[in-house]
Amino acid sequence: MTTSPIRTGRTGAGTSTVEATIAARRAAGGGALVGYLPVGFPTLTDSIDAAVAIASNGVDVLELGLPYSDPVMDGPVIQAATQQALANGFRLRHGFEAVAAITAQVDTPVLIMTYWNPVLQYGVDRFADDLAAAGGAGLITPDLIPDDAQAWLDASERAGLDRVFLAAPSSSDERLVQAVTRSRGFVYAVSTMGITGARSDVDSAARVLVSRLREAGSTSACVGLGISTPAQVREVLQYADGAIVGSALVKALSDGGVAAVATLAAELAAGARDIRAAV
């Protein structure tokens, strides 16, 4: 399948739209806000509306999670949401439908977050082609390490898609270099060991991890797991290029619907816009 260059994760100059978006936010004196929502929760239509709403209220990069039956990294809020989506009949093709519907309404780059097994089952090249055709920017693959990613490296290169690998506080220096050199878009810096979920304090290990990523050559590192308030977004953006918020947005959508998640997105975005004023 051939895809139009307008419908991929690259700009006309061959640069990742995700990376360009993050760089623009940093140049403006703030940082990027990456917002996660699962596809199909509470319904497919609602998940599309919610993604458009948070993009329209300040989220710079959208991360859409594909519901999966064995979500080893997901905390209870996201697990409950994805299990509901699966119970409602979510199928992988709905992910592409959601991306196409969202990118038709907003210019915000859309990354899919997925465990690797669904991609393998679907077919790596087929997945890359269908994601690019839908207007997607790339993949975040939490359980795929760079050593085992050659098939995805090849497919994403051909299709013009970003690939976001994870880096953890426990990662060796060698592993961090691999994550930096093989990621495109950004490196996902896991703030603390464990599963996703809002925390009162973002682990201080995140600051050390981002420093190590800088030493490994990273110019685009985003911190995730545990960020839930505008103050935490502002804190993280003192040293990182982006802050990733997931569970707090999913909880807002669960508790108050699209209007509530839009309101929270606007509040979080306010914490990302001018970090120079932060103490």
Q: Of 19, 49, 60, 63, which is the active-site residue? A: 63
Concerning whether 63 is annotated as a catalytic residue, the answer is yes
**Distances in Å between the alpha carbon of 118 and those of 25, 57, 126, 154, 170?**
33, 31, 12, 18, 26
Chain centroid to CA 146: how far? Answer: 17
Concerning whether 174 is annotated as a catalytic residue, the answer is no
Q: Which helix (H) or strand (E) holds 107?
A: none
How do 187-190 and 221-224 pair as beta strands? Answer: parallel
From the list 55, 126, 58, 60, the residue with the least C-alpha distance to 95 is 126
Length of the chain: 279
The number of beta carbons lying within 10 Å of the beta carbon of residue 88 is: 14
Neighbouring residues of 193: CB distance < 8 A, sequence distance ≥ 6: 168, 169, 170
Distance (Å, rounded) from C-alpha 156 to C-alpha 21?
19
245: left (phi over 0), alpha (psi -120 to 50) or beta: beta
Q: Is the distance from CB of 47 to CB of 98 less than 8 angstroms?
A: yes
Cα angle value 42/9/187 (rounded, 5°) = 80
Q: Of 74, 129, 130, 241, which is the active-site residue? A: 74
Q: Which residues does the annotation mark as catalytic?
A: 63, 74
